[in-house]
Amino acid sequence: YRRPEGVLAVSRSIGDARLKPYVTAEPDIVEHTIQDDDMFLVIASDGVWDTMSSDLVAKFCLVNTCKIVEKDLVVDDSLFRWIARQISKRARENGSSDNTSVIVASLRK
């Protein structure tokens, strides 16, 4: 992945004046009203999203934490820490050399 002026990762270059033409400190913000069928939230650094799509991450979470019990979808929240580590590991295996921090949080009551 291309680094500004070949020297710094974007997250570290926001305060570097000579790199201002290449980076912004403005975050991407998306608002979403949480619905009853929303199960989890994945917050991850760009090293994850550089190598994995949001659909792939969501499917990975679903496949590894959900099961059907008596026609009801059951989410095993105790696996979210493990899932976060696996997503980070997968991003590195996919070639990310950037930060691959991940948090998976339950949205269930």
Q: Mean pLDDT of residues grouped by 10 in the chain (109 residues)?
A: 57 62 73 90 92 94 90 88 96 92 90
Q: What's the N-to-C CA distance of the chain in angstroms?
A: 39
Task: Tally helices (H) and strands (E) across the chain.
Answer: 4, 4
CA dist 8 and 84 (Å) reads: 26
The beta-strand segments (E) located in the chain are: 40-44, 66-69, 72-75, 102-106
Residue 10: per-residue pLDDT = 53
Residue 12: per-residue pLDDT = 55
